Amino acid sequence: MIEIPTWGDRRHIRIGLYGGSFNPFHKGHLKLAKMALTQLQLDQVWLMVSPGNPLKRGSFMAPFGERYQRVKQNTDGRRLIATDIEKRLGTRYSCDTIEILQTRFPRSHFVWLMGADSLAQMALWSHWKEIVRLVPMVIFPRPSYIFPALKGKAACCLKKARYPDRYAPVIANMKAPAWIFMQTPQTNISATALRNQDMTSDKSFELKKD
């Protein structure tokens, strides 16, 4: 199992950064991470479990350790890596995390991964314009969020920086701002819906090792 060092290293690889509360982590999250690996030709995807989400105050949030262990148990630890790096860094906002990682892993090429639901509300994020200035992004579709995402404030502001998805294999090496909206199969699994049921059928699933 690979551990991401807090103080960084000089690895020269292409890394997808996939941050989230993962409350809970489910098959939709796993599917997005695996698609990113293959379609963007990445060496690794780091699933960064957030200690807390400023936009989700007031909603039920499972303890950090529980959320982190669930992600860790269902990823292979080699190419799909669960990490508590944000907790160790003490960062609260994504732009701060990205900036530190780029400094501490100076030879790595990072790309920010997220679903269309996140793009739809990205303009609410603290310093969101700094994120798009720092790192290229790839957005994956989610049912009912495609139109709000592509017509939202963030997408409209970044219209000139959007590239066709044929650029996916090289997006990690592109200079920001640059982003792609992928044309991929969608998943309608919802973490909120899972929290509102006993989750008996989805509580545990195994990652098939490649």
- Output the pTM of the full model: 0.88
Scanning 128-195, the segments in alpha helix (DSSP H) are: 128-134, 146-150, 153-157, 191-195
Confidence of residue 194 (pLDDT cuts 50, 70, 90): very low
Q: Which two tokens stand for residue 124?
A: 């609410």
Evaluate whether 141 touches 113 at the Cβ level (below 8 Å): no
Domains in the chain, CATH or no CATH each? 14-193 (3.40.50.620)
Structure confidence by residue, pLDDT tens digits, 30-55: 999 999 999 999 999 999 999 976 65
Instruction: Give the mean pLDDT of 104-115.
Output: 98
7/104 Cα distance (integer angstroms): 6
Q: What is the DSSP letter of 171?
A: G
E strands in 40-151: 44-49, 80-83, 109-115, 137-140
User: If we measure between CA atoms, which residue out of 161, 17, 35, 156 comes closest to residue 86?
Assistant: 17
73/98 Cα distance (integer angstroms): 25
